[in-house]
Chains A and B, each alone.
Chain A
């Protein structure tokens, strides 16, 4: 059974860097059938794709966040990480770790973590 578990600080100060980790269990992050990524949802608002990474090292970002976001994969720990720099209150959101199929259900996000709320406030 696949599980995606997000972890990280729930409170980040403005102008600092938000750092989250997603621990994957039940599948290998080396699985070449999937992209692993992050999406977010500000409270009461819609979903926004942040970016996706492939086991080979390729990473794709939402152009609106590409200057601040960094996604990386640690295959030895089966983990995915997200760093978002220079955060403001607009970055307050539920952050979801995701798995996106590129073979069977092409470009569909078939699995989501439970989400973690990150609040940006001093």
Chain B
């Protein structure tokens, strides 16, 4: 199963916004509304769920995090960037019973 495609890096100034894309296919992102996003602040540290089912936020995640989807591409937007938002972000999509978790390639977000 092929990984979903994300840009390697993205950046934004403190207080500004950054948007990360996640491109899949009609068999995963395009077919199901089960896209989730994860933040990993340090390599080797456990990721944290920030968006599920395309655009829903778990309890405790700031409303600065939002998600959307159009066709085969999902997006994560972080508004009002804060220093603690730096890290790697991974998307994930359900793609059927035998493909419960196709991850994206990951995007490193830098707050300038």
Contacts and interface: CB of A to CB of B under 8 A. Distances in A.
Interface string B34-51: 101010000111111100
Contact of B56 (A37, A105, A113): A105
Interface stretch (B19-27, B69-77, B78-86, B91-99): B91-99
Interface in B5-61: 34, 36, 38, 43-49, 52-53, 56, 58
B1 A62 contact: yes
B109 interface: no
A47 B47 contact: yes
Given A43-B44, A47-B90, A115-B46, A109 B53 contact: no
How many chain A residues sit at the interface, stated as a range, is 20 to 34
A46 B92 contact: no
B100 A47 contact: no
A94 B44 CA distance: 6
A60 B46 contact: no
Contact of A108 (B36, B43, B103): B36
Contacts of B56: 105
A35 B3 CA distance: 21
A43 B44 CA distance: 7
**Interface residue SS majority, chain B:** loop
Contacts of A49: 92, 100-103
Given A47-B106, A62-B1, A63-B1, A110 B49 contact: yes
Interface string A97-122: 00011000111111011110100000
A111 to B, nearest CB: 8
A100 to B, nearest CB: 7
Interface of B: 1, 3, 34, 36, 38, 43-49, 52-53, 56, 58, 90, 92, 94, 97-106
Interface of A: 35, 37, 39, 41, 43-44, 46-49, 52, 60-64, 94, 96, 100-101, 105-110, 112-115, 117
